[in-house]
Amino acid sequence: DIVMTQSPLSLSVTPGEPASISCRSSQSLLRSDGHHFLEWYLQKPGQSPQLLIYLSSNRVSGVPDRFSGSGSGTDFTLKISRVEAEDVGVYYCMQALQTPLTFGGGTKVEIK
């Protein structure tokens, strides 16, 4: 199974400041078609997970452009350029290269 490791475990961010979350996989998530099968989810308190970024760097329609994903191989990053109050929750990375799909342990983002 592919092991996903996220850091940090938690972040306390001042509104308007940037935030960055790292995700590392135990093996490359690059498929032969050139896509990296890495997704980013946000689970707001009391809600189901919502997809923010797919295939490493593609923002889902409707997701604010302050969210961006980058990375390749085994190292990926989710960046929030200016954190807003509505961004609080737990962020998860997930690999979809192969089953079992596996998730990082999550990064809890809160507002200072």
Partner 1 sequence: VRLVESGGGLVKPGGSLRLSCAASGFIFSDYHMSWFRQAPGKGLEWLSYITATSDIIKYADAVKGRFTISRDNAKNSVFLQMNSLRAEDTAVYYCARSLGDYRPVEPWGQGTLVTVSS
Which positions lie near partner 1, rule CB under 8 A? Answer: 37, 39, 41, 43, 48-51, 54, 60, 92, 94, 96, 98-106
CB of 99 to partner 1, least distance (A): 5
Taking the complex as a whole, how short is the minimal distance between the CB of residue 11 and partner 1, in angstroms?
16
**Residue 85 token pair:** 């109050």
Nearer to partner 1, 18 or 51 (CB): 51
Residue 84 C-beta: closest distance to partner 1, Å: 20
Q: Verify cis geometry, omega within 30 degrees of 0, for the bond prior to 18.
A: no
Closest CA to 87 of 67, 106, 62, 68: 67
